[in-house]
């Protein structure tokens, strides 16, 4: 497995210094090994970008970050690596209705969080609410329901888009809240 590593043994020390990867990469390596999948330097580079940020990355974002590090890795390889990362449970996949997926790793500062998504600039704001969690548990209990996971996404406009004068567009739909005002 080691022979796929880019660093030659003669320059091993220099190479590891230059390639300081996040410690989470070891979990990904272990998963690949367990699954009998090759540990390639390309897969490692993709995973390193994802683990190195707490944002919600698209494949384009990942490709751009890799390019910034001087790595040219094709979209197909990035997609395949992301599939494996999602399957491994180390990375979560989001569909914010933009026509493409976004990814975030699960070692961020906020273990269980929900999202506010700006439909104008695509900013994603994370929030945690103990009240919402409590309400969910209560609701589930009242229905004799055993909850496994939940998802809450609030779509709208972020503060800076509102400041810039952007207004909400309803594509054929009228917001019921708006009707009440």
Of residues 21-50, which lie at the interface with Zn ion (CB under 5 A)? Answer: none
Task: Classify the C-alpha dihedral 156-106-29-33 as positive or negative.
Answer: negative
Helices (H), the chain: 12-18, 25-34, 41-51, 59-68, 75-88, 130-142, 159-163, 176-180
From residue 146 to residue 175, what is the string marking binding to Zn ion with x (rule CB under 5 A)?
------------x--x--------------
Q: Which is nearer to Zn ion, 106 or 135 (CB)?
A: 106
Which helix (DSSP H) or strand (DSSP E) does residue 91 occupy?
A: strand 91-95
Residues 6+ apart with CB under 8 A from 154: 114, 115, 116, 117
- Per-residue tokens: 165: 């004068």
Tell whether residue 121 is a contact of Zn ion (CB under 5 A): yes
Q: Which is nearer to Zn ion, 44 or 56 (CB)?
A: 56
Contact 62/72 with Cβ under 8 angstroms? no
**Cβ of residue 126: shortest distance to Zn ion, in angstroms?**
5
Q: Is 126 in the site for Zn ion (CB under 5 A)?
A: yes
Interaction of residue 118 with Zn ion, rule CB under 5 A: yes
Binding pattern for the stretch 78-117 against Zn ion, x by CB under 5 A and - elsewhere: --------------------------x-------------
Q: Is 120 in the site for Zn ion (CB under 5 A)?
A: yes
């Amino acid at each position: 497995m080691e022979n796929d590593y880019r660093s030659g043994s003669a320059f091993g020390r220099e190479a590891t210094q230059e390639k300081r990867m996040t410690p989470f990469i070891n979990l990904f390596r272990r998963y690949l090994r367990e699954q009998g999948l090759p540990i390639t330097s390309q897969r490692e580079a993709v995973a390193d970008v994802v683990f190195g940020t707490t944002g919600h990355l698209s494949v384009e974002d990942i490709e751009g970050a890799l390019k910034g590090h001087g790595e040219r890795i094709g979209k197909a390889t990035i997609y395949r690596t992301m599939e494996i990362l999602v399957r491994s449970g180390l990375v979560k996949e989001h569909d914010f209705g933009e026509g493409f997926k976004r990814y975030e790793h699960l070692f961020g500062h906020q273990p269980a969080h929900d999202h506010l998504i700006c439909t104008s600039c695509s900013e994603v704001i994370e929030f945690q609410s103990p009240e919402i969690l409590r309400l969910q548990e209560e609701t589930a209990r009242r229905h004799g329901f055993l909850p496994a996971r939940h998802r809450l996404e609030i779509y709208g406009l972020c503060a800076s888009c509102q400041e810039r004068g952007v207004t909400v567009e309803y594509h054929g739909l009228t917001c019921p809240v708006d009707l009440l005002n």
